[in-house]
C-alpha cells in the first residue's frame, strides 16, 4: 500500500455547515426540485435543458454565466426548465489534465482536495442563492455524494463510470433525477442496465456502513454518442437511434422513461457548433414523431461565456476542457428552442 494521508479526515457534518441552504433559498430549491420531478414523470411537458460549462473552473466566470442564464430562464420558463451544469469533477480519459474544481480549486494552482470540496459546495450554493437556478453535477466519485447531495438537484453518471456497480448502486439511493450516459463504446445495453440497476432497491457498503436503498425511479437515459474501435465518433441522436432506444425502454418496462440528448461529446465529435444543428434535428424529430416527442424531452448542452476552448486558463469564461458554445449562440439557441416549442 502506498496511500499516504496528506490531510485530516473530512467531517461530513462540519463540511455541510458550509454553504448550507436555509429559509427562502431552501424553499425555492425544493419548489424547483418538485417542478423538475414533475417533468421527469411526464406530469409537466416542459423541455428540460441541462446547460453550462464543460467544467466549472473559475467561480467568477461561472457566476457571471449563471446570472445571464437565470435571466434567460425567466424569459422561457413556460416552455423550458433549465438546470445549470455546475460540473466540478471531470473524468479524464487518461487521468491527466484538469480534473475539476474538486481537485484544483484554483485552476492555475496545485491540487488541494479539501479546499476543493469547500469550493464545490460554495459554488453550488452561490449559483442557487444568487441566481435562483438549481444545479447539475457529475457523480464521478460516488463516495463524495454525501458531501454535496443537499445542494445538487440533478446527477449524471458519465460515460466512463456507467458500467460500474458502485455508481449504479449509489444512484439507486439518490432521490433526485440521475442521468445514465451511454458508455464511450456507445453500447446502449450498458446504459439501460445501469438505469435498471439504479431503479431497483440495492444493498451494499456505503460510507463504511451496510446500507439499503429503495431504488431511484427518476434514473433515466442520456445519449451522448460513442467512439468506435478506430476512435471515430458514432452519433446516436438520429431518428433510427432514438426509435431503437425507445424500443429498449419499452421492452425493459422501466419507470419514468425519459431520454436526454447530450449534443456535445461523441454526438458532436466535440465540434461544439454542431450542438446547434443537433438540437435543431431533435426538435424536428419531436415534431415529426409522437413517440420521439413522448420520450425525448431534454438536452444537455455545453456552453460558457466565450466559445471554444483553451489549453491554459488565460481567457476569462473560456473552457479549459471540452469546447463550448459561447454566450451569444447559447442565447440564440435557447430562444430558438423556445420558439419551436411554443408553435
Ligand atoms: O467532458 C469532458 C471530457 O469529454 C471528458 O472529461 C474526457 O476528456 P478527455 O478525453 O480530454 O480526458
Ligand atoms: C464528461 C462528460 O461527459 P461524458 O461522460 O459523456 O464524456 C460531461 O458531460 O462533462
Give CA–CA dist 154/128, Å, rounded: 13
C-alpha cell at 240: 433510427
Residue with CA at minimum distance from ligand 2 atom 3: 158
**Residue 300 CB less than 6 A away from ligand 1:** no
* Closest-lying ligand 1 atom to the alpha carbon of residue 97: 12
What is the per-residue pLDDT for 178? 99
Chain centroid to CA 208: how far? 27
What is the per-residue pLDDT for 343? 83
The total of structural domains in the chain comes to: 1
Which ligand lies nearest the alpha carbon of 156?
A: 2
Give CA–CA dist 246/240, Å, rounded: 10
Query: Is 84 part of any domain?
Result: yes
Ligand 1 centroid–CA 322 distance in Å is 7
Find, among 154, 147, 151, the residue nearest to 127 by Cα: 151
Could you tell me how many residues make up the chain? Answer: 343
**Residue 158 CB less than 6 A away from ligand 2:** yes
C-alpha cell at 246: 425507445
Query: Is 56 part of any domain?
Result: yes
**Residue 321 CB less than 6 A away from ligand 1:** yes
What is the per-residue pLDDT for 203? 98
How much is the pTM?
A: 0.98
**Residue 54 CB less than 6 A away from ligand 1:** yes
- What is the mean pLDDT of the segment spanning 185-189? 97
Query: Is 130 part of any domain?
Result: yes
Pocket probe mutation, ligand 1, options 300, 321, 323, max atoms within 8 Å of Cβ: 321
Domain range for 114: 48-342
pLDDT classification of 99: cutoffs 50, 70, 90? very high
CATH code for the domain of 236 = 3.20.20.70
Q: Is 330 exposed, middle or buried (0-12, 13-18, 19+ CB in 10 A)?
A: buried
- What is the mean pLDDT of the segment spanning 193-221? 98
Query: Is 27 part of any domain?
Result: no
- What is the mean pLDDT of the segment spanning 199-213? 97
pLDDT classification of 136: cutoffs 50, 70, 90? very high
Residue 37, pLDDT > 90, answer yes
What are the pLDDT digits (tens) for 293-333?
999 999 999 999 999 999 999 999 999 999 999 999 999 99
Ligand 1 centroid–CA 220 distance in Å is 22
* Closest-lying ligand 1 atom to the alpha carbon of residue 54: 1
- What is the mean pLDDT of the segment spanning 45-61? 98
Residue 248, pLDDT > 90, answer yes
What is the per-residue pLDDT for 337? 98
Burial 20-54 (b: 16+ CB within 10 A, else e): ebeeeeeeebeebbeebbebbeeeeebbbbbbbbb
Q: Compute the mean pLDDT over every residue in the chain, rounded to the nearest whole number.
A: 97
Query: Is 269 part of any domain?
Result: yes
Q: What value, to the nearest 5°, has the Cα angle with vertex 104 and ends 25 and 124?
A: 10
* Closest-lying ligand 2 atom to the alpha carbon of residue 158: 5
Q: What residues contact residue 76 under an 8 Å CB cut-off, 6+ apart? A: 82, 334, 335, 337, 338
What is the per-residue pLDDT for 331? 98
What is the per-residue pLDDT for 77? 98
Q: Which residues on adjacent β-strands are paired with residue 157?
A: 180
Whether the complex's predicted ipTM is more than 0.90 is answered with yes
Ligand 1 centroid–CA 91 distance in Å is 6
Q: Which residues on adjacent β-strands are paired with residue 136?
A: 85, 154
> Quick count: other Cβ atoms within 10 Å of Cβ 212?
11
- What is the mean pLDDT of the segment spanning 161-182? 98
pLDDT above 90 covers what percent of the chain? 99
Query: Is 33 part of any domain?
Result: no
Number of H helices, E strands in the chain: 12, 12
Query: Is 249 part of any domain?
Result: yes
Residue 113, pLDDT > 90, answer yes
Query: Is 10 part of any domain?
Result: no
**Residue 155 CB less than 6 A away from ligand 2:** no
Amino acid at each position: 500500500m502506498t496511500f499516504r494521508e496528506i490531510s485530516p479526515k473530512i467531517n461530513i457534518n462540519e463540511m455541510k455547515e458550509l454553504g448550507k441552504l436555509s429559509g427562502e433559498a431552501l424553499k425555492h430549491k425544493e419548489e424547483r426540485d418538485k417542478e423538475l420531478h414533475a417533468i421527469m414523470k411526464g406530469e409537466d411537458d416542459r423541455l428540460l435543458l441541462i446547460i453550462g460549462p464543460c467544467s466549472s473552473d473559475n467561480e467568477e466566470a461561472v457566476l457571471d454565466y449563471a446570472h445571464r442564464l437565470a435571466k434567460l430562464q425567466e424569459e422561457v420558463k413556460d416552455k423550458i426548465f433549465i438546470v445549470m451544469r455546475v460540473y466540478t469533477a471531470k473524468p479524464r480519459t487518461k487521468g491527466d489534465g484538469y480534473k475539476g474544481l474538486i481537485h484544483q480549486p484554483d485552476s492555475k494552482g496545485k491540487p488541494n482536495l479539501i479546499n476543493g470540496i469547500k469550493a464545490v459546495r460554495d459554488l453550488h450554493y452561490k449559483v442557487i442563492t444568487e441566481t435562483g437556478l438549481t444545479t447539475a453535477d457529475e457523480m464521478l466519485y460516488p463516495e463524495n455524494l454525501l458531501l454535496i447531495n443537499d445542494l445538487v438537484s440533478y446527477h449524471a453518471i458519465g460515460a466512463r463510470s456507467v458500467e460500474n456497480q458502485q455508481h449504479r448502486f449509489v444512484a439507486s439511493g439518490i432521490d433526485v433525477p440521475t442521468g445514465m450516459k451511454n458508455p464511450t463504446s456507445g453500447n446502449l445495453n450498458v446504459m439501460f442496465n445501469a438505469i435498471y440497476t439504479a431503479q431497483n432497491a440495492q444493498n451494499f457498503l456505503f460510507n463504511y456502513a451496510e446500507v439499503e436503498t429503495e431504488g431511484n425511479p427518476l434514473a433515466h437515459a442520456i445519449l451522448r454518442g460513442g467512439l468506435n474501435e478506430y476512435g471515430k465518433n458514432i452519433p446516436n441522436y438520429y431518428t433510427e437511434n432514438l426509435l431503437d432506444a425507445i424500443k429498449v425502454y419499452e421492452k425493459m418496462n422501466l419507470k419514468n422513461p425519459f431520454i436526454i440528448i447530450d449534443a456535445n461529446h461523441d454526438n458532436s465529435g466535440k465540434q461544439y457548433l454542431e450542438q446547434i444543428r443537433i438540437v435543431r434535428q431533435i426538435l424536428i424529430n419531436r415534431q415529426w414523431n409522437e413517440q420521439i416527442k413522448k420520450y425525448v424531452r431534454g438536452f444537455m448542452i455545453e456552453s460558457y461565456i466565450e466559445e471554444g476552448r483553451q489549453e491554459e486558463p488565460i481567457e476569462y469564461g473560456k473552457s479549459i476542457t471540452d469546447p463550448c458554445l459561447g454566450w451569444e449562440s447559447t442565447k440564440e439557441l435557447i430562444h430558438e428552442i423556445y420558439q419551436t416549442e411554443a408553435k
